[in-house]
Amino acid sequence: MSKRRICVVTGTRAEYGLLLPLLQALKVDPAFELQLIATAAHLSPEFGLTYRIIEEDGFVIDAKVEMLLSSDTPVGIAKSIGLGTIGFADAFDRLRPDLLVLLGDRFEILAAAQAALIARLPIAHIGGGDTTEGAFDEAIRHSITKMSHLHFVTNQESADRVLQMGEDAARVFVVGTPGIDLINGIELLRRAEVEKCIGFKFRQKNLLLTFHPVTLQEDYGLKEFESLLTALDRLDGNYGLIFTRPNADSYGRAIAKRLDRFVAAHENASVHTSLGAQMYLSTMASVDAVVGNSSSGLYEAPTFQKPTVDIGERQSGRLRANSVIHCEAYAEDIYAAIIKALSLDCSDTVNPYGDGHSVPRMLAVLKSTPDYKALVKKRFVRSAK
């Protein structure tokens, strides 16, 4: 029996880290031929040309889809989606995959899904049914769900939402997040090694911070970010602040510029364009708390039994472990939440997003599905009331 061509698209550092254990499994499994497409921020010097990390990890990139314009305005993002749809159409026509694997809810993934839909290319979507009420990622994620044919969801609540959208229960699989598989399978660096690699001296207490644009707000979260910086100003030099830059979202550059000014004025702070999966997770394991509005504070941090301060509306609606403290995006609230987090006992935290065995579950589904082409025709299934 010939190998089945499984094409995976990745556009950001964070998503690539989540996909890494699946990519590794597909690469060595004799039942599959892995095809890999890199796009968007991976190909941008501004975001670290992270496609090089993919190649250093031993993967062949079968296609590079250039789509990211220099503008991060809503008009620029919309045009990037259009360019991406064109580029993915060409890539799919050349590679002729049997199945496309997409993760998450970003605009470059929407572009890939649109091109696949018209090409009658079946999609397996990871992370459908989650909810993030503060960002337009919510609508993108649900749109991709309706364009997809196999649904690998992270938890039962998300599965219920996918069923509510009319998807067939026989095609919905609760597998957990592959990010936990990565944590369980990666060799983490010790704290001293992390310090050396990132060029930062840890303090008595240390925070890992990421703040992305809040795309459904009028100012895209700039006021929320200012509130975070005001709260951090109340911490003295005994607190180490390790920032990662925002994603390639609308007005992400404005946040990045303000972040650079803050770090330049604070000896106890550093900022990194891309740490890579191993270094990011090793840093998370070494700090005392995770702070910001990134999904990694909800998905990965609970596995390390680290407290998370989740700020504002961006992640509203997501399932949360007992290690996650949500706060409003006001400086006083953020400061209070950070102080509370640093005293929180997370030793009994259980990650609600899975047990670290999501990849074997996904592979089992991909192998047991007899005819990928037959997936393309879907019917709307009314969920039970």
The pLDDT score that the predictor gives to residue 282 is 97
Q: What's the domain range around 264? A: 188-341
Measured CA to CA in angstroms, residue 132 lies from 173, 235, 271, 319 at distances of 20, 29, 26, 10
If asked whether residues 90 and 59 sit together in one domain, one would say yes
pLDDT one digit per residue (tens) for the chain, 385 residues? 689 999 999 999 889 999 999 999 999 999 999 999 999 999 999 889 999 999 999 999 999 999 999 888 999 999 999 999 999 999 999 999 999 999 999 999 999 999 999 999 999 999 999 988 778 889 999 999 999 999 999 999 999 999 999 999 999 999 999 999 999 999 999 999 999 999 999 999 999 999 999 888 888 899 999 999 999 999 999 999 999 999 877 788 999 999 999 999 999 999 999 898 999 999 999 999 999 999 999 999 999 999 999 999 899 889 999 999 999 999 999 999 999 999 999 999 999 999 999 999 999 999 999 999 999 999 999 876 5
In a domain, residue 231? The reply is yes
Q: Report the SS3 class of residue 326.
A: strand
Q: Report the SS3 class of residue 281.
A: helix
pLDDT (tens digit, 9 = 90+) per residue, 200-240?
Answer: 999 999 999 999 998 888 888 999 999 999 999 999 999 99
Q: Could you give the number of structural domains in the chain? A: 2
**Structure-block tokens of residue 170:** 């026989």
If asked whether residues 173 and 308 sit together in one domain, one would say no
If asked whether residues 220 and 286 sit together in one domain, one would say yes
The pLDDT score that the predictor gives to residue 200 is 96
If asked whether residues 89 and 214 sit together in one domain, one would say no
pLDDT (tens digit, 9 = 90+) per residue, 266-275?
Answer: 999 999 998 9
Indicate whether this model's pTM tops 0.85.
yes
On whether the CB atoms of residues 8 and 22 are closer than 8 A, the answer is: yes
If asked whether residues 227 and 371 sit together in one domain, one would say no
The pLDDT score that the predictor gives to residue 227 is 97
Q: Where are the beta strands (DSSP E) in 314-363?
A: 324-327
Q: Report the SS3 class of residue 243.
A: strand
If asked whether residues 247 and 172 sit together in one domain, one would say no
If asked whether residues 119 and 51 sit together in one domain, one would say yes
CB atoms within 10 A of CB 119: 16
In a domain, residue 28? The reply is yes
Amino acid making up residue 183: I
Backbone angles phi, psi at 47, to 5 degrees: -105, 20
The pLDDT score that the predictor gives to residue 1 is 63
DSSP secondary structure letter of residue 47: G
In a domain, residue 183? The reply is no
Residue 90's domain is classified under what CATH number?
3.40.50.2000
pLDDT (tens digit, 9 = 90+) per residue, 183-197?
Answer: 999 999 999 999 999
The pLDDT score that the predictor gives to residue 176 is 97
